[in-house]
Amino acid sequence: MKSNAKLIITVLITLGIIFALVGMININSSFIPDDNEVIDSDNEKPKTPAVSGKIHIDDDNPSINWTVAKEDGICTGNGIYSDPYIIEDLEIDGENSGSCIWIDNSEVYFRIENCTLFNSGEGFDDAGIKLVDVNNGQLLNNNCSNNNNKGIRLWNCNNSIISGNIVKDNYGYGIALYGSGNNTISGNTISNTYSGIALQGWLSDQTKGFNNVFTENLMYECGFRIIGNLEILLSTEIDTTNLVNGKPVYYCTNQENLRSTDFPNAGQLILVNCSGSLISNLNISYTTIGISLHYCNNSVISGNTVNNNTYYGIFLDNSNNNYISENAANTNNCSGLMIWDSNNNTISGNVANYNYYYGGLYLINCDNNTISENTANNIKRFHGICFENSKNNIISGNIVNNNNWSGICLVGCSYNTLSGNTALNNIECGIILIESIYNTISGNTANYNQWGLVLYTSSYNTISGNSLIGNDECIVEFNCQGNVIEDNDCTLPPITPSLNYLPTILVISSTIIAVSVFIIYQNRKRFRKPQEDIEFL
């Protein structure tokens, strides 16, 4: 009996071991993929975007509001914080007109995510995603590239989050906010556009545009363009996690006695309400604006290189008593130096050649400045140096040659002194005054231009002692009175043309000058501080 019992026990133990081994083999085999199965526990296969037509949701319009959009299958959710409306995984071709997704007059909670939006129109309002009068929106992980104006545009929008989007190869701006506040813009990648991120606080209601936060945005060959009153700019937060070409953006407010060593490896520098700064020997190029001073006084900007920026090399806005000298501001897409509403500055010895749209130096609403010994040659579109609505400035000793329009231009200016400047071989004018009065133009050399000096609707100016040799026409007046013109040296003495040719000459000259003035005024409007927008495109 004992031997039988032992045999039975042995058999049972053996069977138990066999069954255990079989179970282990079955369990392990469940983790072995088939030949055709690939397992990636870290990365799910991305969804293929569904192709969609353009979307317009206006919550003030019962026929195209969120409720209708949900019924049409455009979105899911219920528009509340815990269950927002969601538009996702769409691909929309704007077909060169309008915006791909346009949300109007919305207070509900919503998200637009994982969408590909391209080829929107070229109008100022057009964008891959356009939000107008919208609160509580989130734009997450979208690709808003290859649009004809802006990638993402917010107008009067609040409490929005714009994060993780790819915004590249847009003709105008990457992300633009107008009169929009309390928004967070983070972790976006932006490249190949005029302005990577534009913030403009100017709307008719000056209480809008406050408290925007920008973090961890990556911009390549573009950067920030910030416009607004002092309160808006001081409420804006831009930290050094924002990078331009892999270098930090420095946005400094309410500081004194800053030095270049405070900005190591700067990709862009923006100072707001700072005084006593000494910024020298920095190289800040290939961004939107190299160095910007807003409401800054008693500072020195000297010896810096600010080339190849999509807007300006150096920008001064409401900044007084500064010394801007010996900077290289070349080949910028708009201007080498752009100066708004700034007085009593000395701008001397800068080189601003080969800039494109508006010239080497462009000053608007600026008084009592000294502009001396700067060089602004080979401007591709307009003027070497231009003043608009400015008075009591001294413009002396500058070299402004080979520009596509004029060497020096005054528009709506008075009581300025131009002396000792050299303006040679400009395509149109050596010096031109438009609607400008009581200026003194003396001792300048304006040779070998089409017109040496042009006065268009400009009166009571003194034009004396200038060298105006080799121009097609020495001095041209159109609709002027009371100008004193004396002792100027022309190639030939001023001769009244033959009466047979006089009508033709007057018509041609007047037409050319009128067209020139019209173009200047059209572009002037784009620079004037408007209530709703300002941009040069």
Instruction: Single out the residue of 84, 98, 223 nearest to residue 161, CA to CA.
Output: 84
Q: Record the pTM.
A: 0.84
Least confident of 93-97, 213-217, 277-281, 355-359: 355-359
**What pLDDT, on a 0 to 100 scale, did the predictor assign at position 492?**
56
Q: Sort strands 243-244 and 247-253 into parallel, antiparallel or unpaired.
A: antiparallel
Q: Tell me the average pLDDT across 96-122.
A: 97
495-515 burial by CB neighbour count: b if 16+ within 10 A, else e? Answer: eeeeeeeeeeeeeebeeebee
How many Cβ atoms sit within 10 Å of the Cβ of residue 5? 9
pLDDT at 1 over 50: no
Q: What is the pLDDT of residues 181-216, one digit of tens each?
A: 999 999 999 999 999 999 998 655 666 789 999 999
Non-local (6+) Cβ contacts of 158 within 8 A are 135, 180, 181, 182, 183
Question: Please, which pLDDT band fits residue 379 given cuts at 50, 70 and 90?
Answer: very high
**What pLDDT, on a 0 to 100 scale, did the predictor assign at position 487?**
96
The token pair that represents 204 in the structure block: 């008719």
Asked if residue 386 lies in contact with residue 411, where contact means CB atoms within 8 angstroms, the answer is yes
**What pLDDT, on a 0 to 100 scale, did the predictor assign at position 357?**
86
Q: Tell me the average pLDDT across 328-340.
A: 97
Question: Please, which pLDDT band fits residue 137 given cuts at 50, 70 and 90?
Answer: very high
Residue 486 and residue 462: Cα distance in Å, rounded?
Answer: 8
Q: How is 337-371 classified by DSSP, letter by letter?
A: EEEES--S-EEES-B--S--SSEEEEEES-BS-EE
Residue 116 and residue 352: Cα distance in Å, rounded?
Answer: 40
Q: What is the pLDDT of residues 380-428, one digit of tens each?
A: 888 999 999 999 999 999 999 999 999 999 999 999 999 999 999 999 9
pLDDT at 532 over 50: no
The phi, psi pair for 434, rounded to 5°, reads -125, 120
Residue 58 and residue 69: Cα distance in Å, rounded?
Answer: 10
As a whole number, the mean pLDDT across the chain is 87
E-strand ranges in 156-310 read 161-163, 166-168, 173-178, 184-186, 189-191, 195-200, 213-215, 218-220, 224-227, 237-238, 243-244, 247-253, 268-272, 278-280, 289-294, 300-302
**What pLDDT, on a 0 to 100 scale, did the predictor assign at position 523?**
52
**What pLDDT, on a 0 to 100 scale, did the predictor assign at position 52?**
80
The phi, psi pair for 338, rounded to 5°, reads -120, 130
At position 436, the amino acid (one-letter code) is S
Question: Please, which pLDDT band fits residue 505 given cuts at 50, 70 and 90?
Answer: very low
Asked if residue 290 lies in contact with residue 309, where contact means CB atoms within 8 angstroms, the answer is yes
Asked if residue 270 lies in contact with residue 238, where contact means CB atoms within 8 angstroms, the answer is yes
pLDDT at 16 over 60: no
pLDDT at 335 over 60: yes
Non-local (6+) Cβ contacts of 196 within 8 A are 173, 174, 175, 190, 217, 219, 222, 223, 224, 244, 288
Least confident of 181-190, 244-253, 467-476, 512-521: 512-521
pLDDT at 269 over 50: yes
